[in-house]
């Protein structure tokens, strides 16, 4: 019980650290201080915010299977926080795109979303993530009843769109796309097998 109370703020701070570090890096860049972002700061920011988005998105997805397989019911308590952090990092990623890559050129934004498939897919993932964030609170869960579960199962589709986005945007290495794609498929496969196979349900320590 006591450890749980301590772990939650620690996880919160750990998830916030990348955003704090890169905000500091932006502050230094804007005030003429040390360059922590390399020769192309805008692209570096797009890359790191994208990487943190997918890491945390997949972590949120993995909570449910890990909860069952590791017999850790308390992992459930972290689902909302991790999910909201995923939305937070995807929003930062979008903000970097709008502010530093497109410099708030609204016409270009519409054109990019329509004409570049990887932007269309990434943007769709973001739009779908918003209602999950807005309804992640207990009151919404209670009011929505069964529909809440249906809505939140969108998280699988969002992860698939995010992996497609990365596959499309990738320039040099497919490592991230393959790694996160495999993790998403494993989580999705586990969910399907758990639903339809009693032996998989029996295998989990926690029912
Ligand atoms: C769930 C949503 C999203 C995730 C998980 C995500 C993740 C990523 C990742 C990991 C990368 C780096 C890929 C690589 O080169 O290895 C990336 C790149 C990029 N993303 Fe996203 N993204 C998402 C949504 C968006 C949205 C909404 C936009 C803009 C509307 C966007 C625009 C970009 C752009 C422009 C790049 C290329 C940056 C560059 O290297 O120049 N992404 N994204």
Which residue of 93, 112, 157, 173 sits with most ligand 1 atoms within 8 Å of its CB, as the best mutation to test the pocket?
93
Mind listing the pLDDT tens digit for each residue in 161-192? Answer: 999 999 999 877 899 999 999 999 999 999 99
47 Cα nearest atom in ligand 1: 12
Q: How far is the CA of 115 from the centre of ligand 1 (A)?
A: 15
CB distance 181 to ligand 1 below 6 Å: no
Ligand 1 centroid, distance to 126 Cα (angstroms): 11
Tell me if 15 CB under 6 Å of ligand 1: no
91 CA distance to ligand 1 centroid (A)?
A: 11
Taking the C-alpha atoms of residue 43 and residue 37, their distance in angstroms, rounded to an integer, is: 9
Q: Ligand 1 center to residue 19 CA distance, Å?
A: 16
Give the whole-angstrom CA distance, residue 201 versus residue 24.
46
* CA 169/CA 166 separation, integer angstroms: 5
What b/e sequence results for 97-113 when a residue is b if at least 16 CB atoms lie within 10 Å of its CB, and e otherwise?
Answer: bbebebeeeeeebeebe
Number of structural domains (the chain) is: 1
- Which of 33-37, 125-129, 190-194, 203-207 has the least mean pLDDT? 203-207
Range of the domain at 18: 2-203
Say if CB 119 and CB 70 are below 8 A apart. Answer: no
pLDDT tens by residue, 68-126: 999 899 999 999 999 999 999 999 999 999 999 999 998 899 999 999 999 999 999 99
Reading the block at residue 33, the tokens are 């201080």
Around 94, how many Cα atoms within 13 Å sit in the side-chain half-sphere? Answer: 20
- Identify the helix (H) or strand (E) that includes residue 64: helix 41-69
With a pLDDT cut of 70, the percent of the chain lying above it is 95
């Amino acid at each position: 019980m006591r450890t749980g109370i301590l772990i939650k703020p620690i996880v919160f701070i750990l998830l916030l650290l990348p955003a704090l570090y890169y905000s500091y890096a932006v502050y230094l860049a804007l005030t003429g201080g040390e360059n922590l972002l390399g020769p192309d700061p805008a692209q570096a920011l797009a890359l790191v915010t994208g990487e943190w988005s997918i890491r945390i998105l997949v972590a949120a997805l993995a909570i449910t299977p890990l909860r069952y397989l590791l017999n850790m019911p308390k992992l459930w308590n972290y689902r909302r926080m991790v999910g909201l952090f995923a939305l937070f990092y995807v929003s930062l990623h979008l903000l970097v795109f709008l502010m530093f890559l497109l410099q708030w050129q609204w016409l270009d934004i519409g054109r990019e979303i329509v004409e570049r498939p990887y932007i269309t897919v990434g943007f769709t993932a973001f739009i779908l993530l918003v209602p999950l964030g807005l309804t992640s609170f207990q009151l919404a869960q209670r009011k929505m009843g069964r529909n809440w579960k249906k809505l939140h199962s969108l998280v699988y589709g969002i992860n698939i769109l995010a992996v497609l986005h990365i596959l499309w945007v990738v320039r040099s290495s497919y490592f991230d796309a393959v790694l996160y794609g495999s993790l998403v498929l494993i989580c999705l496969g586990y969910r399907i097998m758990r639903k339809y196979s009693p032996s998989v349900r029996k295998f989990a320590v926690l029912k």
